[in-house]
């Protein structure tokens, strides 16, 4: 079930009264790119998608059209979350909402999706990366991942790690990072990003960042060395 992300991004932008140009300027990309994403003529990279949903203050669930389960009405967490419809306990593989992104990256939205977390089955084709420009991204949340198959290279700050099947990782997603598959087989793993929704309006500055740029996301076209700086 492939998600129509372009129309949902456009709807979120229009609901907030934002122009294509203002969004493009905030992300450091061209207005034509945003327009092409919204009309489905092109797919965003991972870093561009995260920058868009963070800037618009929406969730991955919103983009994929799958409202997440909401905590009990009387729980402390419920006051922190927007309204969500209950989701079934079991989600069949054929019903997984799918995002096909630029450069051979595929996300499948997993069941569960309680407010604090985005659960995703992620695939990187050979040669794919989270940013086609090779630039690092950052976003709010804590990122956890487990690699099932293939090899995936993680660049985190100034360190590089090659992940093999069975390897796992976690880090604060505000740290500049980039994923790439330099191998010749698909790399696939399970990702959970906790707290992105709650933090996306108040993302802390990374060590060495210009304090004036706090809250501005790194997108695929925003240079981490320039910004050091809102998926």
pLDDT tens digit sequence for 138-159? 888 899 999 999 999 999 999 9
> What is the pLDDT, as a whole number, of residue 42?
85
| Cβ–Cβ under 8 Å, residues 160 and 131 | no
Give the pairing type, strands 187-194 and 117-124.
antiparallel
Q: Who wins on pLDDT, 17 or 64?
A: 17
Task: Calculate mean pLDDT across residues 66-88.
Answer: 48
Q: Say yes or no to pLDDT of 199 above 70.
A: no
Count of domains forming the chain: 1
Among 2-16, 130-144, 180-194, top mean pLDDT goes to 180-194
CA 56 from chain centre, in angstroms, equals: 13
Domain range for residue 11? 5-227
Task: Calculate mean pLDDT across residues 155-169.
Answer: 96
pLDDT tens digit sequence for 20-63? 999 998 888 889 989 998 988 888 888 888 888 888 888 777 77
> Residue 67: pLDDT band by 50, 70, 90 thresholds?
low
> Residue 90: pLDDT band by 50, 70, 90 thresholds?
confident
Cβ atoms < 10 Å from Cβ of 108: 19
Sign of CA dihedral 180, 184, 188, 189: negative
Task: Calculate mean pLDDT across residues 55-82.
Answer: 58
Q: For every residue of 100-150, which 3-state class applies, written as one string?
A: EECCCEEEEECCCCCCCEEEEEEEECCCCECCCCCCCEECCCEEEEEEEEC
CATH code of the domain covering residue 77: 2.60.120.10
pLDDT tens digit sequence for 102-133? 789 999 988 765 556 678 899 999 999 998 77
Q: Collapsing DSSP states into helix, strand and coil, what is residue 199?
A: helix
Task: Calculate mean pLDDT across residues 4-13.
Answer: 87
Alpha helix (H) ranges present in 16-45?
20-27, 31-38
């Amino acid at each position: 079930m492939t998600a129509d992300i372009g129309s949902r991004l456009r709807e979120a932008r229009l609901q907030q009264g934002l122009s294509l140009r203002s969004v493009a300027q905030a992300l450091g990309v061209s207005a034509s790119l945003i327009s092409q994403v919204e009309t489905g003529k092109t797919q965003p990279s991972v870093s561009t998608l995260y920058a868009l949903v963070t800037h618009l203050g929406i969730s991955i669930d919103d983009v994929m059209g799958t409202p997440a389960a909401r905590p009990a009405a009387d729980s402390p967490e419920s006051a922190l979350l927007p309204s969500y419809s209950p989701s079934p306990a079991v989600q069949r593989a054929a019903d997984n909402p799918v995002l096909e992104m630029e450069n051979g990256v595929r996300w499948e939205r997993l069941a569960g999706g309680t407010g604090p977390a985005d659960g995703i089955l992620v695939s990187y084709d050979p040669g794919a990366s989270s940013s086609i420009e090779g630039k690092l991204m950052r976003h709010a949340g804590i990122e956890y991942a487990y690699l099932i198959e293939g090899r995936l290279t993680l660049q985190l700050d100034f360190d590089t790690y090659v992940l093999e099947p069975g390897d796992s990782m976690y880090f604060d997603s505000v740290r500049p990072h980039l994923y790439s598959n330099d191998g010749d087989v698909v790399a696939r793993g399970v990702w959970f990003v906790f707290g992105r929704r709650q933090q996306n309006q108040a993302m802390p500055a990374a060590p060495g960042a210009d304090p004036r740029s706090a809250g501005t996301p790194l997108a695929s076209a925003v240079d981490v060395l320039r910004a050091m700086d809102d998926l």
